[in-house]
Structure 1
Amino acid sequence: MTVNDDSFTSWKNREEIAESMIPIIGKLHREQDVTVLLHSRSLVNKSVVSILKTHRFARQIAGEELSVTETLPFLQTLTTLDLGPSQIDIGMLAADYKSDNRGLSVAEFTAEAVAGALGENKIERRDGRDVVLYGFGRIGRLVARLLIEKAGSGNGLRLRAIVVRGGGEQDLVKRASLLRRDSIHGQFQGTITVDEDNSSIVANGNTIKVIYANDPSEVDYTAYGIENAILIDNTGKWRDRAGLSKHLRPGIDKVVLTAPGKGDVPNIVHGVNHETVKPDERILSCASCTTNAIVPPLKAMDDEYGVLRGHVETVHSFTNDQNLLDNYHKADRRGRSAPLNMVITETGAASAVAKALPELKAPITGSSIRVPVPDVSIAILSLRLGRETTRDEVLEYLRDVSLHSPLKRQIDFTTAPDAVSMDFVGSRHASIVDAGATKVDGDNAILYLWYDNEFGYSCQVIRVVQHVSGVEYPTFPSPAV
């Protein structure tokens, strides 16, 4: 047998193992509300090849590739345990087990590592929480995809309705088509049908009522059987408490804005300050995509080195706020053709840092350049640190943060020397540290942070909604603090 034959045989064996994982992962998710992760990446509803690629990607953050032969025993052990709703990272289980020298069996080690999800410690399965999307643009449709994907057993978030302005002929069909196919993010994973008689879109069995209204005051959500719902405003039309309060109609309990909030509206970056949300807070903001991209790394760097001052330059993809060709725009430069120009503009991300990370006393400035790419941006974060360090030390620290810290769902890490923006379409992290581009000189550090300003941000929105709705379940093994 040749070397090539050996490689092919090994691949087929790993394919077979990954295939055997799929029904186990699905059953845990549907029947016990257990989401199986691999280094913070969900394996639910993933294909054989996706599972294998996720295992291979572990080398980027853990330093070596992870094999399905290493993680399968932990997954099999989970099926023997009486688990409560939780997220369990089999990549972390395998890594921690490898470094454990107590001689425990896989079963013993796993039971100990997930003890918080067992017996008296486990959380009871909660009733589902209704969600309404107000607006159905770029972020709205991606949030819809995520809500449908995470419907799972039906005990989590349930997308019940979408509110849009009255449309013309074939409006429902066209909106369903935009959900079904996306030029950047690809096709919807599942089936979508249109029920025009009931003004509904049915996606993977989830019936989503499409409500036509020109103003929040026109809607009584209880008339559609919606109660105690969280409304996600994707329009950005209202940004302060007075405007967003218009959404607090019958059937709506809380309002979450997918844009920076103004005035006293809390700006929440999941992973950094989501624990500060008061139980009785009914209106909050998820800040901006760029704020979500820079605040977690800023917090990480400030925690370890101290940050004395900083500047963020975001090279940002164009958005629907800009013009396809030169045309009138209320902003000075945004009226110029988005796909033909680099456009200098402003970003509120730097000033928003103070709201999300008030303990950071360092002044942070910022600016932005819109460039002719449709998605994925990069934030260049230039920092003056409180002490001198080295590039190797900073990279090892950030790699460890991405793997082991409470920020591991927000901060990703790549060492790929040939990575470009399109490689990060679909990233579920708030930002990805590009190791190869990082610069460190004494007490000065420059971090290059990729972020999918559409999908990665939408994932952060969902995490905030899960938290305030009470269906955000604990992760095991617990991240190091």
Structure 2
Amino acid sequence: MTVNDDSFTNWKNREEIAESMIPIIGKLHRERDVTVLLHSRSLVNKSVVSILKTHRFARQITGVELSVTETLPYLRALTTLDLGPSQIDIGMLAATHRGDDRGLTVEAFTAEAVAGATGADKIESRSGRDVVLYGFGRIGRLVARLLIEKAGSGNGLRLRAVVVRRGGAQDIVKRASLLRRDSIHGQFQGTITVDEASSTIFANGNAIKVIYANDPSEVDYTAYGIKDAVLIDNTGIWRDREGLSQHLRPGIDKVVLTAPGKGDVPNIVHGVNHDMIKPDEQILSCASCTTNAIVPPLKAMADEYGVLRGHVETVHSFTNDQNLLDNYHKADRRGRSAPLNMVITETGAASAVAKALPDLDAPITGSSIRVPVPDVSIAILSLRLGRETTREEVLGYLRNVSLTSALKRQIDFTTAPDAVSSDFMGSRHASIVDAGATKVDGDNAILYLWYDNEFGYSCQVVRVVQHVTGVEYPTYPAPAV
């Protein structure tokens, strides 16, 4: 047998193993509300090839490729346990077990590592929490996809309705089509049908009522059977407490804004300050995509090295706020053609840092350049540190943060030498550290942070909603603080 034959046989064997993992992962998710992760990446509803690629990606973080033959025993061990709702990272189980010198079996080690999700300690499944989307643009439709994907056992978040202004003939059909097909993010994973008579979109069995209204005061959500819902405002029309309070109508309990909040509206970056949300807070903001991209790595660097000052320059994909061709715009430069120009503009991300990191006593400035790509941006974060360090130390530290820390869902890490923006479309992290571009000279560090300003940000929004509704289940093994 040739080397090529050996390689192909090995691949087919791994395909077979990955195929056997799919029903186990699906059953845990549907019946026990358990999400199986691999180094913080969900394996739920993934194909054979996706599972294998996710395992292979581990080499970018740990330096060693992770095989399905290593993780399958841990997955099987989970099926023998009385698990409650949780997120369980089989990549971390394998990695921590490998470093454990007690000689425990896979079954014994797994039972110990996830003990908080079993027996008397486990969380009981909760009834689903209603969610309403106010606005159905780029972020609204991506959040809808994520909510439908995460419906799982039905005990989590339930997308019940979308509120929009009527757009004319076949409005609901056209909106369903935009949910079904996306030029950047591809096809919806599942089936979508429309019942025009009842103004309902059915997506993977989820009935989503389309409510037509010109402003919040026109809607009584209880008339649609909606109660204690979280409303996600994707319009950005109202950004202060007074304006957003208009959404607190019958049936709505909390309002989450997908834009930077003004005044005393808390700006939340999940992973950094979501634990500071007061239980009785009804109105909050998820800040901006750029704020979510820079604040987690900024916190990580401040915790380890101290930060005396910083500047962030975002090279940002163009957005719907800009014009396709030169035309009037209230901003100075955004009226110029977005697909034909680099456009210098402002960013509120730097000033928003103070809200998310109030203990960071360092001036942070920022500016932005919009460029002719439709999605994925990069933030160049230049920092003056509190002590001198080396490039190797910083990269080693950030690699570990992306793998084992409480920020591992926010910060990703890549060593790919040929990485470009399109490689990060669909990333679920708030930002990805580009190791090859990182520069360190004494107490000066420059981090290059890629981020999918649409999908990665939408993932952060959903995480905040999961947290405030109590369906953000604990992760095992517990990440390092």
TM over 0.5: yes
Question: What are the equivalent positions in structure 2 for 1:146-185 lying under 5 Å apart?
Answer: 146-185=146-185
Q: What CA deviation, in whole Å up to 9, does each residue of 1:379-427 have, x standing for no partner?
A: 0000000000000000000000000000000000000000000000000
Aligned residue in 2 for 1:305: 305
Equivalent AA in structure 2 for residue 102 of structure 1: R
Question: What are the equivalent positions in structure 2 for 1:288-437 lying under 5 Å apart?
Answer: 288-437=288-437
State how far apart, in whole Å, the 2-side matches of 1:396 and 1:280 are. Answer: 40
Please state if 1:138 is matched with 2:133: no
Q: For residue 197 of structure 2, give the secondary structure of its aligned residue in structure 1.
A: helix
State how far apart, in whole Å, the 2-side matches of 1:280 and 1:383 are. Answer: 36
Aligned residue in 1 for 2:192: 192
Aligned residue in 2 for 1:233: 233
State how far apart, in whole Å, the 2-side matches of 1:41 and 1:403 are. Answer: 11
Please state if 1:439 is matched with 2:439: yes
TM-score (normalizing by structure 2): 1.00
State how far apart, in whole Å, the 1-side matches of 2:59 and 2:243 are. Answer: 47
Provide the aligned C-alpha RMSD in A.
0.3
State how far apart, in whole Å, the 1-side matches of 2:455 and 2:355 are. Answer: 23
Aligned residue in 1 for 2:82: 82
Equivalent AA in structure 2 for residue 442 of structure 1: G
State how far apart, in whole Å, the 2-side matches of 1:457 and 1:82 are. Answer: 34
Percentage of identical aligned residues: 89
Equivalent AA in structure 2 for residue 408 of structure 1: K
Aligned residue in 2 for 1:270: 270
Q: Measure how far apart 1:160 and its partner are.
A: 0.1
Q: For residue 160 of structure 1, give the secondary structure of its aligned residue in structure 2.
A: strand
Q: What CA deviation, in whole Å up to 9, does each residue of 1:245-264 have, x standing for no partner?
A: 00000000000000000000
Aligned residue in 2 for 1:7: 7
5+ unaligned residues in a row in structure 1: which ranges? Answer: none
Q: How many residues align?
A: 481
Equivalent AA in structure 2 for residue 262 of structure 1: K
Q: Measure how far apart 1:166 and its partner are.
A: 1.4
Please state if 1:22 is matched with 2:26: no
Please state if 1:104 is matched with 2:93: no
Please state if 1:202 is matched with 2:202: yes
Aligned residue in 2 for 1:469: 469
Q: Measure how far apart 1:353 and its partner are.
A: 0.1
Q: For residue 231 of structure 2, give the secondary structure of its aligned residue in structure 1.
A: strand
State how far apart, in whole Å, the 1-side matches of 2:63 and 2:326 are. Answer: 48
Q: For residue 198 of structure 1, give the secondary structure of its aligned residue in structure 2.
A: coil
Q: Measure how far apart 1:63 and its partner are.
A: 1.0
State how far apart, in whole Å, the 2-side matches of 1:169 and 1:127 are. Answer: 37
Equivalent AA in structure 2 for residue 129 of structure 1: R
Please state if 1:41 is matched with 2:51: no
Equivalent AA in structure 1 for residue 364 of structure 2: I
State how far apart, in whole Å, the 2-side matches of 1:230 and 1:364 are. Answer: 33
Q: For residue 332 of structure 1, give the secondary structure of its aligned residue in structure 2.
A: coil
State how far apart, in whole Å, the 1-side matches of 2:390 and 2:32 are. Answer: 46
State how far apart, in whole Å, the 1-side matches of 2:350 and 2:167 are. Answer: 37
Q: For residue 163 of structure 1, give the secondary structure of its aligned residue in structure 2.
A: strand
Q: Measure how far apart 1:50 and its partner are.
A: 0.3
State how far apart, in whole Å, the 2-side matches of 1:167 and 1:224 are. Answer: 21
Equivalent AA in structure 2 for residue 58 of structure 1: A
Q: For residue 370 of structure 1, give the secondary structure of its aligned residue in structure 2.
A: strand
Q: Measure how far apart 1:372 and its partner are.
A: 0.2
Equivalent AA in structure 2 for residue 317 of structure 1: S
Equivalent AA in structure 1 for residue 427 of structure 2: S
Equivalent AA in structure 1 for residue 220 of structure 2: D
Q: Measure how far apart 1:203 and its partner are.
A: 0.1
State how far apart, in whole Å, the 2-side matches of 1:361 and 1:34 are. Answer: 40
Equivalent AA in structure 2 for residue 94 of structure 1: A
Q: For residue 101 of structure 2, give the secondary structure of its aligned residue in structure 1.
A: coil
Equivalent AA in structure 2 for residue 23 of structure 1: P
State how far apart, in whole Å, the 2-side matches of 1:462 and 1:47 are. Answer: 23
Equivalent AA in structure 2 for residue 270 of structure 1: H
State how far apart, in whole Å, the 2-side matches of 1:336 and 1:59 are. Answer: 43
Equivalent AA in structure 2 for residue 366 of structure 1: G
Equivalent AA in structure 1 for residue 79 of structure 2: T
State how far apart, in whole Å, the 2-side matches of 1:166 and 1:446 are. Answer: 47
State how far apart, in whole Å, the 2-side matches of 1:323 and 1:76 are. Answer: 53
Q: Measure how far apart 1:62 and its partner are.
A: 1.2
Q: Measure how far apart 1:120 and its partner are.
A: 1.2
Q: Measure how far apart 1:87 and its partner are.
A: 0.0
Aligned residue in 2 for 1:213: 213
State how far apart, in whole Å, the 2-side matches of 1:186 and 1:166 are. Answer: 25
Aligned residue in 1 for 2:280: 280
TM-score (normalizing by structure 1): 1.00
